[in-house]
Amino acid sequence: MKQIALYGKGGIGKSTTSANLSAALSERGLNILQIGCDPKRDSTRMLMHGRFIPTVMDLVRERGDAAVTLADVEFKGYNGVRCVEAGGPEPGVGCAGRGIIATFQILEKFGALSGDVIVYDVLGDVVCGGFAMPMREGYAQEIYLVTSGELMSLYAANNICKAIKRLASRSTGKCRLAGVICNAKGQPREEELVAEFARAVNSSLVEFIPRDRVVQLAELNKKTVIEYDPQSAQAGHYRSLAARVMENTNLTIPTPLEIDALEHLAYSYI
């Protein structure tokens, strides 16, 4: 079983990328589980045709964890992709990070962490230990960074490199950086810049996904691009990403950049 996690700045397109990656992987006949690890709970929505599925934390809040079963939290989406949303507290109260930890414990108890590939779609930044949970021992060993060529997006990706490096240095730390996915904003020389960033943090660019109107159209139709327009060039990019993920063996301990070096890098690609 392969377990991968996608991390990146909020709004960069992690959920869109994750859902399309899961859809493309499922086309290869694989048993896929996608887990949304964000209280916003919209990771799996396109796989579920626009439906916000009940989250693990919602059900625990309503019924108590003893009364929740796997069937209550795992939903079959497009092409059999199994979808789970961790959920979390209302914005502004409680501890969302602990919610992620609790969700993982419940999924473990159910034996839900199975299949050919598990895709963890994790919120913007690794703000506390709870959001590093998918990188811990027994969960995702392969971490993909989703970024555009914008400085703030690279900055967030670089911060996540720091978290991976820290966790990889632990005696139980098995997580590695598996690659950088460029979800392009359409700025000039964006692919070169992100490829250079990937090299600088001791990794590589695994897929360049150009900006394409079809992504918005698919979203408005509450579908993944794979389902909405399977013949599109964009769908081809997601299939290519799926192929790269399955064959990828280049797992590294990242070398995060100092802020000056990062800014210098971005500046040199103006």
List residues near another protein by CB under 8 A. Answer: 57, 60-61, 64-65, 88-90, 93-96, 98-99, 102
- For another protein, the closer of residues 88 and 254 by Cβ is 88
Q: Which helix (H) or strand (E) holds 98?
A: helix 96-110
Of 2, 9, 165, 223, catalytic: 9
The residue among 13 and 99 lying less far from another protein, judged by its C-beta, is 99
Cβ contacts of 14 within 8 Å, gap of 6 or more: 6, 7, 8, 43, 121, 122, 146
Q: How far is the CB of 93 from another protein (least distance, A)?
A: 3
Q: Is 40 one of the catalytic residues? A: yes
14 in active site: yes
Cα torsion 105, 109, 110, 113: sign: positive
Q: How far is the CB of 89 from another protein (least distance, A)?
A: 5
Q: Is 125 a catalytic residue?
A: yes
CB 60, min distance to another protein, A: 6
261: amino acid identity, one letter: A
Quick one: 214 exposed, middle or buried, by C-beta within 10 A (0-12, 13-18, 19+)?
middle
Catalytic annotation present for 222: no
- Give the shortest CB-87-to-another protein separation in angstroms: 10
Looking at the Cβ atoms of 60 and 205, the one nearer to another protein is 60
- Among 65, 116, 125, 162, the one annotated catalytic: 125
CB 224 within 8 A of CB 78: yes
CA distance 10 to 17: 13
How far is it, in rounded angstroms, from Cα 227 to Cα 225? 5
Task: Compare residues 105 and 268 and give the one whose CB is closer to another protein.
Answer: 105
Which residues are part of the catalytic machinery? 9, 14, 40, 125
